[in-house]
């Protein structure tokens, strides 16, 4: 069974540009989460989808970030316009049950904003 996949693995963009990150969760996992780690900081929760609905988006830093999960399958996280402080690694995770301690993480997308 395939794990959580993320695309791209790396992205380098200039300040002010737009970037879209994609996450494909494990098949059958209704719960999808986004996290990120910016340089020197801890991994922080961004938001949680249950199927196509946002269950909790309390960790989204500002309105430059837009997450979608149309159809309840894959999810995208768009940053527009990107700022220097958005650089970091963005992780996606999925789980079968909501509130699960065991979440399956993807390898992450390393975003560099120059």
Partner 1 sequence: LAKTTQPISMDSYEGQEVNITCSHNNIATNDYITWYQQFPSQGPRFIIQGYKTKVTNEVASLFIPADRKSSTLSLPRVSLSDTAVYYCLVGDGPGNTGKLIFGQGTTLQVKP
Task: Write the DSSP symbol of residue 75.
Answer: E
Class of residue 68 by CB neighbours under 10 A (exposed 0-12, middle 13-18, buried 19+): middle
Using the minimum distance from each CB to partner 1, give the nearer residue, 1 or 42.
42
CA distances from 74 to 8, 12, 41, 111, 114 (A): 14, 22, 27, 19, 28
Q: Which segment (12-20, 68-76, 77-85, 106-114) binds partner 1 by CB under 8 A?
A: 106-114
| Residue of 7, 17, 38, 45 interacting with partner 1 (CB under 8 A) | 45
Using the minimum distance from each CB to partner 1, give the nearer residue, 92 or 113.
92
Q: Check the CA dihedral 93-96-101-104 and report its sign.
A: negative
Cβ atoms of 25 and 40 closer than 8 Å = no
Question: Using CB under 8 A as the criterion, what x/- string covers residues 73-102 for binding partner 1?
Answer: ------------------xxx-x--xxxxx
Binding-residue total with partner 1 (CB under 8 A):
28
Q: Output phi, psi for 28, to 5 deg.
A: 95, -10
105 scored as a contact of partner 1 (CB under 8 A): yes
Residues that bind partner 1 (CB under 8 A): 4, 31, 33, 35, 42-45, 48, 55-56, 58-59, 91-93, 95, 98-108
């Amino acid at each position: 069974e395939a794990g959580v996949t993320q695309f791209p693995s790396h992205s380098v963009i200039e300040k002010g540009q737009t970037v879209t990150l994609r996450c494909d969760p494990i098949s059958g996992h209704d719960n999808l989460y986004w996290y990120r780690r910016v340089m020197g900081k801890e991994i922080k929760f961004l938001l949680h989808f249950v199927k196509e609905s946002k269950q909790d988006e309390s960790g989204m830093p500002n309105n430059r970030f837009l997450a979608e999960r149309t159809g309840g399958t894959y999810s995208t996280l768009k940053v527009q316009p990107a700022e220097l402080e958005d650089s970091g690694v963005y992780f996606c995770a999925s789980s079968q049950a909501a509130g699960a301690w065991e979440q399956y993480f993807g390898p992450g997308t390393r975003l560099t904003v120059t």
